[in-house]
Amino acid sequence: MPLFDRKDKSRYATFTRRTLTMGGGIAAIMTALGARLYQLQILEGEEFMTRADENRVNQRLLAPLRGRILDRFGVELATNRRNYRVDLIPEQALEGVDAALDTIGRIIVITSRERERILHDIAENKHFVPTTIAENLTWDEFARVNLHLPYLPGIQPEVGETRNYPFGDQLSHVLGYVAAVSPDDKTNDDDPLLDLPGFRIGKRGIEKAFDLQVRGTAGASRVEVNAYGRVIRELGRDPGAPGADVYLTIDNEVQKFVAQRLGNESAACVVMDVANGDVIAMASTPGYDPNDFNVGITETQWKGLNEDDHHPLINKVLSGVYPPGSTFKPAVALSALDSGLLPADFSVNCTGSLQFGNYVFHCWKKGGHGHVDLHRGIAASCDVFFYEVAKRVGIDTIENGAHKLGLGYQTHIEIPGEKAGVIPGRAWKEATLHLPWQQGETLNTGIGQGYVLVTPIQLCMLAARVASGNQVVPRIVHVVGHTVEQRPQLKRLEFSDAALAAVQSGMNAVTNEPGGTAYAWRIPNPGFEMAGKTGTAQVRRISKEEHLAGVKKNDELPWNLRDHAHFIAYAPADKPRYALSILLEHGAVTSHPHVQMARDILLFTQQRDPANMTAGYPVNAADNGGARL
């Protein structure tokens, strides 16, 4: 019998072909795998090693130290303090964000409102971006979080810096405050710092105006993490560049004194160096504590600030516009004298009122002042005299003169939010109200009423310009980082020396001659005397019937119906160095508290030693890196 028959041979051939086919397939697969392994390990090995290393090493952005804000003597007005913070990285929360918040909520207090904010922030960002859960924790709270950290996946404790305002509301309207970044803040700013949890930017005041300079440049930290994202060690750190320090022209001691004298009144006060426009003090009361906005203001606090009839959120110095009343009269007098339309010996007989057409314009003094010239018109603040002056020279002269003194324009001081006010005229009324100018409105303008609106900073600038004869412009920033802010070369006012001397003489009489409206509250100290001008601005129209029945004194009226009280001044009267304006909302009462405040403030400012006020500047701050002097 044959070993293999034909049928068996056919089966053997089939088996051999299958074996070869399978072997070829396996060989092809192995070749492909080998090629792929060669590509991964040899050709692209370095890239994948880098990727693996990146899974092990994280780079974290570090917020730089925010630059300080200091007064002219190097006193820290805004600085930084330690901030214990807890963040949540949503993608590392193994059981979900809600569960992570429930767990951490058993360790530190998280209110329902804060929880809503956290969930909103998480929804707005990518899940690998940390979101702040709580900050400004006490050491005990922070220690509890760290103690339970192994059971808190996704939770990341951080120790950073946050803003601190050691003088609270004393400088709130100068410094402003910092607060969390809002979506609107990111519109035109691609700084990666804005995405950092807990990062703060300037929202008002100097903090806002110089935010980019004070903010600094981000740093970075390279840390090694395990598979759960837990930090094992720090591999390297670049702290970034701290923000620039900003030196102000403010003298904190004068600022503190001004704030104390204004108290809780709804008021504003500015003190300025007439030689260069440096603002020595700027206060608007009541203020607010900027630390509240940094830490996180409560709904109750915010509501209280907004509903307060003294408007603590408004910087009245720059954003409050008021009729100037009689403090506008020096501007009217200068305009009239310099125009040549008013003789130097011009005088009127004040009987207490002036008939003009069908309307009677009243003087503040019932029965009148009798014979009044320019000197006595300013000293006694005779309204009838200035009605006659305004009628004689016209609105165009008054408008042009007021503009020369800087009224009706922003001063462009470095703090945001300043308003320009209004110096009315024919073109202004036509453009604003679409009505022609009436001559009776000129008379009202002559005593600083009607459409005239100014800010306290403008009135201080008016006093400084009258005192010095120069186009003084207020400035509040002296040094930023290593750069001394340049001051423009002062130009002379476009008024004659004779006109300036006449107005200065009248303002001196206001405080230093019997019969002057502020004589009772003068500075009696020899060499420290002040010259000034009082002003009362009506907040309501007094009807004819009230005049006939006898207008009630402000002391007898409810607070919100009383007239505003202004006072502008400079000192020393014979050699001016400092100018001041003060506003007391609804404060025009018989005792003239605002004039008493101004007297005390100007005396204190002068007694701060004028020589040291200049020498105390951190003039070399640009050379020593802004170090505290």
Element (H, E) at 570: strand 564-571
Question: What is the DSSP secondary-structure string of 428-467?
Answer: HHHHHHS----HHHHHHHHTT-TT-BB-HHHHHHHHHHHH
Catalytic machinery residues: 326
Measure the CA–CA gap between 576 and 599, rounded to whole angstroms. Answer: 15
Measure the CA–CA gap between 205 and 425, rounded to whole angstroms. Answer: 32
Q: Is the Cβ–Cβ distance between 206 and 69 less than 8 Å?
A: yes
Question: 517: which 2 tokens?
Answer: 């409206």
Strand partners, 354: 361
User: 291-328 b/e with 16+ CB inside 10 Å = b?
Assistant: bbbbeebeeeeeeeeeeeeebbbebbbbbbbbbbbbbb
Measure the CA–CA gap between 539 and 608, rounded to whole angstroms. Answer: 37
Which amino acid is present at 491? K
SS3 content of the chain, % helix, strand, coil (to 5): 45, 20, 35
Measure the CA–CA gap between 616 and 628, rounded to whole angstroms. Answer: 12
Measure the CA–CA gap between 534 and 383, rounded to whole angstroms. Answer: 12
**What's the Cα-to-Cα distance from 552 to each of 149, 360, 558, 563, rounded to whole Å?**
70, 19, 11, 11
